Structure 1
Amino acid sequence: MNALKHIKVLHIHDRQSNEDYGVSELKEYCKNFYEANDCYRGIELYKEEKPEIVIYNVSFPKISNEEFIKKIKQINEKAQVIITTQSLTKEKLYNAINFHLIKYLIYPFNLNTLLDSLKDCIRSIDSNTSNIIKLSKTFTYDRFNKTLFKDEKLISLSAKEMDFFHLLVKNKDRAVSYEEFNQIIWEGEMTKDALRSIVKDLRKKIDKNIIKNISGIGYRVNL
């Protein structure tokens, strides 16, 4: 992952964390990798080095995750923060929507999962775009955490519905072809009925005009 060689990464962790799930291996990928064992030292180091990405896994922080993010965002509102956590609540996911550029990783994860999250962060940095997509006045989608909200309510999606919708949003500037859905989501075993069923069920949960059918081609998200 050559892009990481040119990115500064700050890892803030405490001594309560016995496992880092591949975080230490990032040193092999990152030329500029910094560490802090205390959230306040982490903030000071952030001010000094101005890293593009922060990985935060403090088990018993002296300040809450929300307070920590606010302090980082006050320094750089475009800061990319990956928070590792034992569990993920609706409140945390909604906070991610509000703060932007926040990715949650649930233990246990591995180096590949962590690298995928870093790739998301780097793409956001390169494109200078947010991971938060406003679909309509009431619906919001978080590309990093793959969550869909209607106002403050988290919309429950099945695994297939989420894969389908994420593929649409990921390619929001074009139509996604039937063949792409077939290969990426169904691994070559898609039926027309299965695809129609996914679209039908999704349209019951979100505004019907958000998913648009492009005749003879496939579907696209209508923003």
Structure 2
Amino acid sequence: MIEKLKTSSILYIDDEIEILNNAVEFLSFYCKQVYAAKDGYEGLELYKKHKPDIIITDINMPKLNGLKMIRKIREEDKDTKIIIITAFIETKYLMEAVELGLLKYLQKPVSQISLLPVLKLCMHELFDKKSSFEIEKDLVYDLFNQSLFLTKNQVLLTKKELMFLDLLVKNHKRVVKYEELNMFVWNGLMSEDAMRSLVKELRRKLSKTAVKNISGIGYQINEYT
């Protein structure tokens, strides 16, 4: 299961810089990408920009604490796997953690060895329950390998098309807002023409009905049933 981490991204948030740096160094051996933030505000900005698969965050931090940050994320995203780390396990925090649908909590100090079983659990949640997503009959997106197949033949996508599709599939139960796509795919530098052109090309490669536009809001991927 650990090998699947090689395709995943993690956002690690902690205001203790030494702990943060050590965690990032360790996780970089296992993950495709590790993002680091030293407070909840910075963590929220990095989440919006990169849409990581897993978030590991401290609770007590300056500017914006971990639970308030998670609550903002959960307003739109119910699926990203989130782990909290805390020096003190308090009932009020645990109750709020349950409400926010967190995957796990760990008590400080968190050893590198204790992180691995939790990451394995994340991989199980991310991939084993559903490793592929069927957009339309015989049109399947492989979440693990980030590849698209039509009748078992791979459909070639550009980097931005793949990023766009991957974000939609991972959030298929909701409409992905224009602002999210702009930050994730174009790094905040998108033009309306660029997005329309990309969606037009994706529909050509998938089907005309695969990517649905919700006027004034964003896009949502079709799921074959």
User: Which TM-score applies when normalising by structure 1?
Assistant: 0.51
Structure-to-structure mapping, 1:6-85, within 5 angstroms = 6-14=7-15, 16-20=16-20, 23-24=23-24, 25-57=26-58, 59-85=60-86
RMSD (Å), alpha carbons:
2.2
Q: How many Å separate the matches in 2 of 1:65 and 1:34?
A: 16
Q: Which segments of structure 1 move beyond 4 Å, counting only runs of 4 or more?
A: none
Identity of aligned residues (%): 33
CA 1:33–1:67: 2 relative to 1, 3 Å: same
Change (3 A) 1:73 1:127: farther
Note the C-alpha offset of 1:47: 1.0
Contact kept in structure 2, 1:4 and 1:30, CA below 8 Å: yes
Which residue is equivalent to 2:159? none
TM-score by length of 2: 0.51
- Whether contact under 8 Å (2:60, 2:66) holds in the other structure is no
| CA–CA distance in structure 1, aligned partners of residues 92 and 38 of structure 2 | 26
CA distance in 2: counterparts of 1:20 and 1:38, whole angstroms: 11
Offset, 1:88: 0.5
Instruction: Kindly report which structure 2 residues correspond to 1:179-190, keeping only aligned pairs within 5 A, or say none.
Output: none
Shift of 1:22: 5.4
**Aligned counterpart, 1:120:** 121
Gaps of 5+ in 1: 130-223
Give the direction of change, closer, same or farther, for the CA distance of 1:64–1:41 in structure 2 (3 Å limit): closer
Q: Where does residue 92 of structure 2 map in the other structure?
A: 91
Which consecutive residues of structure 2, in runs of 5 or more, have no partner in the other structure?
131-225
- The alpha-carbon distance between structure 1 residues 65 and 8, as it changes in their structure 2 partners (threshold 3 A), is same
Q: Map Cα deviations across residues 161-195 of structure 1 (whole Å, 9 max, x no partner).
A: xxxxxxxxxxxxxxxxxxxxxxxxxxxxxxxxxxx
CA 1:53–1:91: 2 relative to 1, 3 Å: same
Counterparts of 1:101 and 1:59, CA distance in 2 = 16
- Over 3 Å counting, the alpha-carbon distance change for 1:128 and 1:71 in structure 2 is farther
Letter in 2 for 1:19: I
Please name the residue that 1:176 is paired with: none
How many residue pairs match? The answer is: 128
Alignment match, 1:107: 108
Local SS of the residue matching 1:62: coil
Q: Is contact 1:79-1:101 (8 Å) kept?
A: no
- How far 1:104 moved relative to its partner? 1.0
| CA distance in 1 between partners of 2:37 and 2:7 (Å) | 20
- Distance apart, 1:75 and its partner CA: 3.6
Which protein has greater RCO, CA pairs closer than 8 Å, 6+ apart?
A: 2
